[in-house]
Structure 1
């Protein structure tokens, strides 16, 4: 994104200068909970924020003054703000979920996520910040495996052919699981324990020599 485009997107997220303070608060709330920069219909959002502000103000008046009040003649009547609240709520419902906050999935911790976190913590060579991206990807794969286990056996079987191989490959790339036996161990001579027969033969040979 160019600097000019970035400045334009930033301006699009700012509320109109003449928007009332109560509506401005709602504008910023919506911007913080949605990815609307550069795509927002500013006129539509302004109208929506104005309705929301009117609804909140009507509710606050009812909370502060009660559901019934006295008219100029002293008669007890329903608070006029109740009608404003009802009418405004109907208008807001007509907008549907156009400006509703985005719902972010909640990630639950599971066995794979915990085990992966432990492996990463114990991998000293992954302490550098440059590995942050690959580590995040690996943690995501671990979370996906946990989610598959929670969902169903069918989901887990599917993960075994796609997600799990990718997870193991990522582990190998990050060198937190050995792909083969370390060379030092593989090349080390294997010492065979002495048998009882050979030990007796050696002692007999020593007696004859003596």
Structure 2
């Protein structure tokens, strides 16, 4: 984040975490579009694993890979075994908290708007939203591609509108984060027609109203 974007408060690290664990938390949040849907307890556990792995690696770096025991016998540094076990545990998490894209990617309007819409849709949160995980990832990726095309050139943007936008709109509709996805009962009422004027919003009605205003003036 560049300091100008306001982060979802649900993504803030718990105050109880030590500073070195908070640093890991912030790194993961900054490189992964979690959008407030993250399992905070799982993320906290993962951050502790990464932080402890880094501590073990730092100790090995400072003290070397071998040490002498109380009898003067040279043996592998105990932190090597700690490092191995922590690395195995971290690998067991797979790509759950891995960055979806390169950390250096630029943010854009489409990606931010999509993340905000998802974060503010109750049916996409928690356990209920897990079944939409793939579709959510697809919509975010498509939004990012549209942003990238816009940054590239008008030709690239036109190409994205033709090839990517229809898929993006379909994904949003299936996720129910577009007006078109609302149920009939929840659909907004159409604009009321001007009583006594034929067509309400067509060209002839606008002309008639304009003529009446001129005559009244």
For normalisation by structure 2, the TM-score amounts to 0.46
For normalisation by structure 1, the TM-score amounts to 0.48
